[in-house]
A = this chain, B = another copy of it.
Amino acid sequence: MVKNNCRRHGWWNIKFRGCGYRLTSGREAILDILSKSEGHLSAEDIYMKLHPKYPNIGLTTIYRTLDVLANLGLIFKFDFGDKRARYELAEGPKGAQHHHHLICTSCKRVIDYTDFIDEEVKLLNETEKGLCQKYEFKITNHLIQFYGLCKICAKR
């Protein structure tokens, strides 16, 4: 009862229910992991972190839930070139701050950065406006990533 009551007040509750999705303990647990861990989690990462406490949540459910969350805009799905999708919480009431990524093409390490974001976003907004008009394209999101060699890999 208490647990159930708790769920009813989660900040994502409204969004979930509003879109006709049900709030299950599995989904709650997955969102919980995502908000507690630093980003860049793969489906299997989440499965591993979840398994000790929730051994009955299968990989399939995790994939399905991540899909739902991404569709709702609660999380973002990334491809960092290591052959598996990676997910991180989008900005939200408890969300991490907006950042972009530096990706090491050698060791696949990913560094988040928040510097320069403001300038980047400002330019992006102007660009978006122009592109919207010219191509009648309704832009909802953008992706900026820098590729190169991290400190360690560069020394070889």
Q: Which residues of B contact A116 (CB under 8 A)?
A: 126-127, 130-131
Number of chain copies forming the complex: 2
Proximity string of chain A (64-94) to chain B, C-beta cutoff 8 Å, 1 when within and 0 when not: 0000000000000001000000000000000
Q: Which residues of B contact A151 (CB under 8 A)?
A: 135-137
Q: Which residues of B contact A135 (CB under 8 A)?
A: 102, 111, 113, 150-151
Report the bound CA distance from A142 to B124 in whole Å: 15
**Chain B min CB distance to A121 (Å):** 11
For A128, the closest partner residue in chain B by CB is B146
**Chain B min CB distance to A46 (Å):** 20
In the complex the two chains form, is B127's CB within 8 Å of A120's CB? yes
